[in-house]
Structure 1
């Protein structure tokens, strides 16, 4: 098994060695990682950083129903390549992940679930590895719909998905059900509607799960309203479409005590409202995404529909406000909103092209170049934003490397000697299944090449960008799941 020598622990600066077994299903890139001797390699990891694995609380893997765009296999491979050990899958699958039993095999996407022997999308995704005889290289949780079919007309029924939550009927669950619980509620892709708002907040209150809110709603428009939309001749979306949802849901959180997590926040006004709500002590958290940090709506002139998303890219002033909101702590975490589409779909023009971009495989580099190199935050703070905080939102704890090291009971080691984190030793690794780590080169300069992505999709404006900071290896369940180590 490879041994990484002289690697730095992200939050203590301790220099350690790490021995890690290679998973049978590992994704290996690069001449060194694929070499016959890699399993027993001694790797000089001086200058590299060991950190808890990244977690993304906002991904779309299009499975079931739209696997021509992405599948669980390709999406998880993309996540591992980007340094992610854990993801939260949004419920806008086809059929929607609402807990309803599928009885009509002719409904879009239903046949693959029914033919696999499962009655709901949740059951199917929990047992995806078994159904397809694959081992997925990333751990994942599921997010249930706020409304039936995500149609916004009737809230989902707690009784139909409560059993999928962690801590509920665990004695009756199999290993896959325990591993992939429902840990949040959302109608992501659209905000919770006025018709279902009270009922959805009641669902969140009764279940104890956070409401993950797509904090933006508009009935017309395709890009941010302003000089760029007018220059393009494309209907604009006013900025207050986001703030209206934010202020509405803050008021409901104040009334109910429900934890509301706002997705992909993008405007200065929304950050001001969220900052004030937090100061009031309300249970509010928020995320933003790499594209709102690195791009403004002027990118539409250069990248066209590859820069079309929802919420839309905002003004340069809003982009700067987003970076400042990360710097001052208003933003709790970073999420990619990984949204795969085909290039043919993206070529339909601003009015008809779908919203969204992929992001898992370049998020760390884009965020590092924008936020760390830009002087807004430190390397350690970026890791907190991409690992520690999103894991907590999902109901988990990021791997504590210091605790793993402290569990080493090797009495023969000289006092003060460099410590070895041996992930092959169960007594040292504690519960290896819970371990998620990433090896980072925080200084590597590299160019984003979408053609080399593990995702099926290529819809990103970041192709050709020169960025800094790269995940070199991903360790999941105590095993090396991905490597591009040299």
Structure 2
């Protein structure tokens, strides 16, 4: 199958992409246009880029598969253009390397063998983030003897590449031991930079209007300052998750100016929304950390523009409709984001003129891969250009990469496509999004994993089948 007339994401040059076949058993086809009979696709006006990488995902499997599971979660990721995701450790039981499931396995073992046990190939690759403390209880650091054998280089398909107690910050009580483990095994600490015991929404005019207990910005900035001090004192690699406040961005900015080993992410919702949106979306916009003030939202946009923010992560957090129906006071925190992230960021960051589309790809693909130490497809690893009988270079992909080269994971995007978010059409089990009904610009059209098409919403009008070619030549 040949995709003709794509635009290379960085050079802007036209390229043709040759895939070994139109589809395989893993294909998710929203249009019904793909089949083994597909010969060519008119991809003019579409952009070819490295597949997106998400360093912050909750798939609820094992333990809460009524909300999401590995099949639905990876399908949502493929539909969002992701080739690789990092699974957070707040599974049930927690992913600490010791806690056992009913069948006696650890969660790490369960996720490592998931595809083999279920006789399937998921459309998106994933790596694992081990819990910083036993059962994520914050009382004792997890034991590296329980998980260090699953680090990269040990032959695992889904290695442990980071350490975190995401959902809560690493506690003061365990911080030094967790940091020592991280340094010994050269893992970054991915810290949920917030701690609070009470409150539902951001402290401010909106919380007072709603009559809800507010969460001050200091719940975030206190952890950020503590973690920056840790990085400065010990050299531990610290990555701050979902930074959301002006004070937090300022602290990270100053740490970087001093050359400290500190990176940070923010999420699409902190760039596109503020606490005023709670008045419209209610519990569908309830998350942790909460949507902050309009001034904090502006600070997030500025932090992306000036390079303070290293990457964008979804913090995809599925919940059931019944849970979110409990209202702002009692509903759980979290929203889903895999299927809307690219479009939200393209609209808020690129179409506004704040950053270039190239920079967006860096934030959503290259930087997260760097953090995880999993360079799925950096520019220098693109498949070799081969001449053909057109004016375009030709990229040939194969199921098996060349020796020593990483697999080829790509995404095909239409940065100009306009569409309306309809949660009923999501591939995720969950519907908890504040973007329902939003008109967005930019859409993922296809996702390619290991050189094979795994997701497509390319319309039939762009597809040329071998049957049509035969009809033309008869």
TM-score, normalisation: structure 2: 0.93
2:141/2:177 contact within 8 Å kept: yes
1:16 corresponds to: 15
Residues 417-432 of structure 1 mapped to structure 2, 5 A cutoff: 417-424=391-398
1:184/1:394 contact within 8 Å kept: yes
2:224/2:240 contact within 8 Å kept: yes
2:377/2:406 contact within 8 Å kept: no
2:87 corresponds to: 89
Distance 1:424 1:93 in 2: 35
2:420/2:438 contact within 8 Å kept: yes
Residues 48-127 of structure 1 mapped to structure 2, 5 A cutoff: 48-102=46-100, 110-111=101-102, 114=103, 119-127=105-113
Distance 2:376 2:117 in 1: 29
Residues 187-226 of structure 1 mapped to structure 2, 5 A cutoff: 187-226=165-204
DSSP-derived class of the 2:344 partner: helix
2:431 corresponds to: 458
Counterparts in 2 of 1:28 and 1:392: CA distance versus 1, 3 Å: same
Distance 2:297 2:137 in 1: 31
**Runs of 5+ in structure 2 lacking a partner?**
460-474
Counterparts in 2 of 1:403 and 1:39: CA distance versus 1, 3 Å: farther
Query: Is structure 2 residue 261 aligned with structure 1 residue 283?
Result: yes
Q: 1:141 aligns with which of 127, 135, 139?
A: 127
Distance 1:263 1:409 in 2: 41
Structure 1 range deviating more: 130-139 or 335-344: 130-139
1:205 CA drift (Å): 1.2
Distance 2:386 2:422 in 1: 44
DSSP-derived class of the 2:183 partner: helix
- CA-to-partner distance for each residue in 1:16-61, whole Å, 9 max, x for gaps? 111113232111111423xx4x643311111110000000000000
1:396 CA drift (Å): 1.4
1:433/1:476 contact within 8 Å kept: no
2:246 corresponds to: 268
- CA-to-partner distance for each residue in 1:379-429, whole Å, 9 max, x for gaps? 111111000000111111141456434x3466xx57x942211214868x6
- Aligned CA-pair RMSD: 1.7
Counterparts in 2 of 1:439 and 1:409: CA distance versus 1, 3 Å: closer
Counterparts in 2 of 1:351 and 1:340: CA distance versus 1, 3 Å: same
2:33 corresponds to: 32
1:426/1:432 contact within 8 Å kept: no
2:46/2:413 contact within 8 Å kept: yes
Residues 400-415 of structure 1 mapped to structure 2, 5 A cutoff: 400=378, 403-405=381-383, 407-408=384-385, 413=388
DSSP-derived class of the 2:281 partner: helix
1:318 corresponds to: 296
DSSP-derived class of the 2:382 partner: helix
2:386/2:394 contact within 8 Å kept: no
1:105 corresponds to: none
Counterparts in 2 of 1:425 and 1:163: CA distance versus 1, 3 Å: closer
- CA-to-partner distance for each residue in 1:276-308, whole Å, 9 max, x for gaps? 100100000000001000000011111111111
Distance 1:332 1:142 in 2: 20
1:242 corresponds to: 220
Query: Is structure 2 residue 270 aligned with structure 1 residue 292?
Result: yes
Distance 1:158 1:222 in 2: 35
DSSP-derived class of the 2:33 partner: helix
TM-score, normalisation: structure 1: 0.91
1:75 CA drift (Å): 0.4
2:236/2:261 contact within 8 Å kept: yes
1:133 CA drift (Å): 1.8
1:433/1:478 contact within 8 Å kept: no
Residues 247-262 of structure 1 mapped to structure 2, 5 A cutoff: 247-262=225-240
1:431 CA drift (Å): 6.7
